[in-house]
Each structure stands twice: as C-alpha cells, then as structure tokens.
Copies of this chain bind each other. A is one copy, B any other.
C-alpha cells in the first residue's frame, strides 16, 4: 500500500486527471473538466459534493448536484480521488492519491492528512481469497476545550 514515486511526473495533477479520464473512455465533458480543475488545482484537500457545488456557483456557473455526485463516483472508481467516510452523513473525497492516513477533529468536522511515513502499520497477511483494496486509518481527536465541556 505504500506508494513511493521514484519517477518524476511532468504532468500537473489536473493534467494527469484529464489524461486518465480520456484514457478510461469516459467523455471529458465540460462539467467533468470544470470539476477536475476545481478538484486538482488547489493543492491537497478534502472536498464534499456540496463544497464543489458552491465553488462552481462562485464562478458563475452551474452544475447540478446529480452530476457532481455522479462525477465524484466516477473519479473515485478511476482512482483519481479517494472517498473517506468520517461519519454517516459526511462523505469527503481527498484529491491526494498518495497513500496517507487521516486525522479527524470530531468537534470541528475538520480532517487533515497524516503522511503514511508517520505511521508504522503492520497488518497480518490477508487470506488468499481476499484482495486488499484500501487501509483506512482515522485518528479521531477532539479539541481539548470541547472535551472538557463533556466531562
């Protein structure tokens, strides 16, 4: 699961995404290009469907929610983005396809990346009938203030 790029990739994350879209056979439509641009041209971050909807609106354009959800799913299955489930009514996608884990600040709803190299994880071997898809590590924390309120 550890990805270590030794080869230098000349493409920006956005160009790489577009390339992968074209290669995969799905059409690089206007909506998909707009969304890819928003997703991949702002550095590593975590995005929700609603975020994207709002960001499109800010540019005086409009893409329907249905299309945004469809696109997020397509991009996920192309491996361009990764879905993170932090709680049941919050689906976030991260545009960082490097292997990494997450720090989730529960009372703030904020999520941060933890580089894989900062966590040492040894998992036992998986039975032959199963193929590894992903390992999610979510370190759940609370800001101290919030924690004191509860106790």
Contacts and interface: CB of A to CB of B under 8 A. Distances in A.
Contacts of A3: none
A54 B132 CA distance: 32
A97 to B, nearest CB: 16
A101 to B, nearest CB: 8
What's the number of copies of this chain in the assembled complex? 2
A139 B118 contact: no
A118 B126 CA distance: 12
Interface stretch (A16-24, A27-35, A38-46, A141-149): A141-149
A124 B89 CA distance: 28
A137 interface: yes
Nearest to A141: B130
B119 A122 contact: yes
Interface stretch (A5-13, A58-66, A80-88): A80-88
Q: Which 8 A-B pairs have the closest CB atoms?
A: A120-B122, A130-B141, A134-B140, A136-B138, A133-B140, A131-B147, A118-B124, A88-B91
Interface of A: 85-91, 105-106, 114, 118-124, 126, 128-144, 147
